[in-house]
Chains A and B, each alone.
Chain A
């Protein structure tokens, strides 16, 4: 069953007379519970795709359906509710609140998510229970990204959106984070969409979408994705 459907979606940025078509009449359908990787060079439109799906941005034209609901016409407040209930984000630069401790950063989502999970459980799952009273600045990059994953999953979203989640990490830590992300999402039955330019990550995906010049170049399903350990990093 399709959890996400893009129908003829375009996103055009205008700057004076200059017009940039970041997404150009995109049609796309994504299955629930899959691990999906969106690949493409810089400026291809992959982050725009992710932002539209995450409700951070709205399309210039077209329809985006998530779980059958059209999110392309939502008001800013409805979009905030959508983000609070349906999607979790993991960013390259973690985006934790520096003035909140690890546990508080995760528990933050309880204030807005309709069905949040236990923050303690989430921290335990990412192996940072012992660091719960530390501030983000007291953790390593990998640890901060794990907190970010715990926060994203604590909302109990349908979809987990990750924008270059390993981009700021060394390869060893990156592998560890990916492994964690995959195992947690799989165990919890989440749909994971990762935007990256790292071809290796694509080897682990159920579906690989290649984007170029704002268009979907290909959408391949992989019957036998590799395990994290099997990928040559």
Chain B
């Protein structure tokens, strides 16, 4: 019988129950979804690192490594395995595409995972194992022929397998390109045998053993230990990078960290609102059920049975919300992580299984326990005392005089203002919850749209303003002299840049030396304002400034990689940059005695000569195109957040509005009897909502900015983002929040037309 009552009561309070189920579903869904996102990514990336033998360390040398060098490295105590490794950007024949041609002499380290076709063979003279994503984007299949060239060397072969590689988990040519673009850039593996066959005899003799510029190592040593041992073993100081300094590892870990950050803010917001709504609503429902609770007690039901019955309401809400939330969570996870999902446009994983971390299940169970306890405590409060006590209707808190009633201003307020003010203070938890809902709604809107503004501004500064050239011509630094490069820059009416890898401590950075006379490249300062480089010192990026606690006026010391030479230069400014770099003008570099070889020419001219010292040419358009995917992704996320904000706003405000309406039903009936019109009474209800909305918006704006700033700080290791909020974001956030509140207010205020004056006034106070 009690079960029947349970379901009928659930139906009776359907608005409240449905809102609570939705809130808990949203809370659990967002919580689970974000945690599934980072955790699945973490597991899947670790799996491919494991499966393909992702190297822990990379040793670089301009002169290359011989087999003897490899043996020395392998002999180091603590080294598990190692390979000589080569990755070089090659041009695809009859196409503008670039393929990073890769050779690993020991595929147990920095190897591949086969997706389709034949298994890799290290003696295959013609087999090419091509990135399956590049193949798909370019309509290449197993069995097709492929020819790539590097300078005068041409490599032709047959695609024997389609693969994934952890070394190219995020397949971008360099750090300036934000998103992979498989239509124009991919990677391929060939065997060492095929590589040697492809190199003309004479050339091979000249190159000797210097074909492999890199040794990749699997080892559990720390970087400091490994560097010391490797330098000793090889008899020279080398640039050694650990895996955290590779794009593949750093960006993938960045995504995981980003997921953890996102997963720690939004879900907490949703869950907090869900739980607080539950506390408020359960209290109200048990209060209005008090006489029934008393009746059960008077009839002889034991307290334990009554407690169990009413706690079941909270448990049912919790379970229904959790089940729905688990569905939402997996849906959200699938939306982000799937072959067609948002993350697949960025990270190239072989499979996208979804895993939920164990703690999420524990949290979901705890939420349900907590909700049941909330229900239990709410009923216990109503059960206190004798059966006669329990039978008496719930008496709301007495109204108290407010401190502001002593002011003259208060006395002159209209009755509706006084009524609403006192009501807000009398029902503090309800008012607080309404505020909380509005603040939450604002945080999501300001945070979501602000993130888009920030990224828009970031892309605008770096790609629309800073890239003022149409083509970027990459030179073969091994075969080009500075004089040739200067002549080419002059001919192409361009500016030029030289890049050198440098170390600060044991971390690798890029030293970029620019000669800018034609405004083809621009730089943004830490406030994202375009500046002109001065010849008086070096500029550092925000990340270097933060990591080494440096500012303008300090000096910075770095070493060109592979050597012991130390260079100290004054820091004259901090730049916002895509790469972790030190930037200076050629004039300053010359004065400081820093040597360099020009590596890139920036130009608008289209008559770029082919071949010779030119490795390849990248157009600004191809760089910009890759952002479309990124912005699509961004827009999808923004829409999700806006929808979540609206649902949150509507559900919380409607639930609390209904509560407020129910609690003031009798007062409104009195006003109606006295002669107040429905519209006037409706306005009374809406006014209170509007007040709370205005206060919520005022709190929500800084809170939203704060949350966004927190997210940007958390993302700072990946991008140097400066918070930007456009006028449209302010306007839309405020208007949308106001609109939601007004719409819900109107929905509820319409209900007062149906107030049964007679019935309401007959009930006991």
Q: Which residues of A contact B669 (CB under 8 A)?
A: 95
Q: Is B423 an interface residue (CB 8 A)?
A: yes
Q: Is B764 an interface residue (CB 8 A)?
A: yes
Task: Pick from A93, A104, A109: contact of B674, CB below 8 A.
Answer: A109
In the assembled complex, 7 residue pairs joining A and B whose CB atoms fall closer than 8 Å, in A order, are A47-B758, A84-B674, A95-B670, A99-B422, A111-B415, A112-B675, A137-B399
Instruction: Using A99-B426, A100-B419 as known contacts, say yes or no to A135 and B399 having CB atoms under 8 A apart.
Output: yes
Q: Are A80 and B399 in contact (CB under 8 A)?
A: no
- Across the two chains, which residue of chain A brings its CB closest to B413? A104
| A97 to B419 Cα, complex, angstroms | 9
Chain A nearest CB, measured from B347 CB (Å): 58
| A76 to B419 Cα, complex, angstroms | 24
| A76 to B671 Cα, complex, angstroms | 14
Instruction: Using A51-B758, A107-B415, A112-B675 as known contacts, say yes or no to A94 and B667 having CB atoms under 8 A apart.
Output: no
Chain B nearest CB, measured from A154 CB (Å): 10
| A8 to B294 Cα, complex, angstroms | 45
Q: Which 10 A-B residue pairs are closest in the complex by CB-CB distance?
A: A84-B675, A99-B422, A83-B675, A95-B670, A80-B677, A135-B399, A56-B757, A112-B675, A137-B398, A93-B765
- Across the two chains, which residue of chain A brings its CB closest to B414? A111
Q: Is A57 an interface residue (CB 8 A)?
A: yes
| A85 to B674 Cα, complex, angstroms | 9
| A85 to B676 Cα, complex, angstroms | 11
Q: Which residues of B contact A56 (CB under 8 A)?
A: 673, 757-758
Q: 1/0 contact trace for A100-132 toward B, CB 8 Å?
A: 100010011101110000000000000000000
Q: Are B758 and A57 in contact (CB under 8 A)?
A: yes
- Across the two chains, which residue of chain A brings its CB closest to B765? A93
Q: Is B418 an interface residue (CB 8 A)?
A: yes
Q: Which A residues have a C-beta under 8 Å from some C-beta of B?
A: 47, 51, 54, 56-57, 76-77, 80-85, 89, 91, 93-100, 104, 107-109, 111-113, 133, 135, 137-138, 151, 155
Label chain B's interface by main secondary structure: helix
Q: Is B229 an interface residue (CB 8 A)?
A: no
- Across the two chains, which residue of chain A brings its CB closest to B764? A93
Interfacial residues of chain B within 746-765, with CB under 8 A of chain A in the complex: 753, 757-758, 761-765
**Chain B contact residues (Cβ within 8 angstroms of A): what range?**
20 to 34
| A53 to B671 Cα, complex, angstroms | 17
Interfacial residues of chain B within 722-765, with CB under 8 A of chain A in the complex: 753, 757-758, 761-765
Q: Are A80 and B672 in contact (CB under 8 A)?
A: yes
- Which of A51, A81, A83 has the largest number of chain B CB atoms within 10 A? A83
Q: Is B666 an interface residue (CB 8 A)?
A: yes
Chain B nearest CB, measured from A111 CB (Å): 6
Q: Which residues of A contact B674 (CB under 8 A)?
A: 83-84, 89, 108-109, 112, 151, 155
Interfacial residues of chain B within 395-409, with CB under 8 A of chain A in the complex: 396, 398-401
Q: Are A76 and B678 in contact (CB under 8 A)?
A: yes
| A51 to B673 Cα, complex, angstroms | 10
Q: Are B676 and A104 in contact (CB under 8 A)?
A: no
- Across the two chains, which residue of chain A brings its CB closest to B423? A99
Task: Pick from B401, B667, B758, B762: contact of A97, CB below 8 A.
Answer: B667
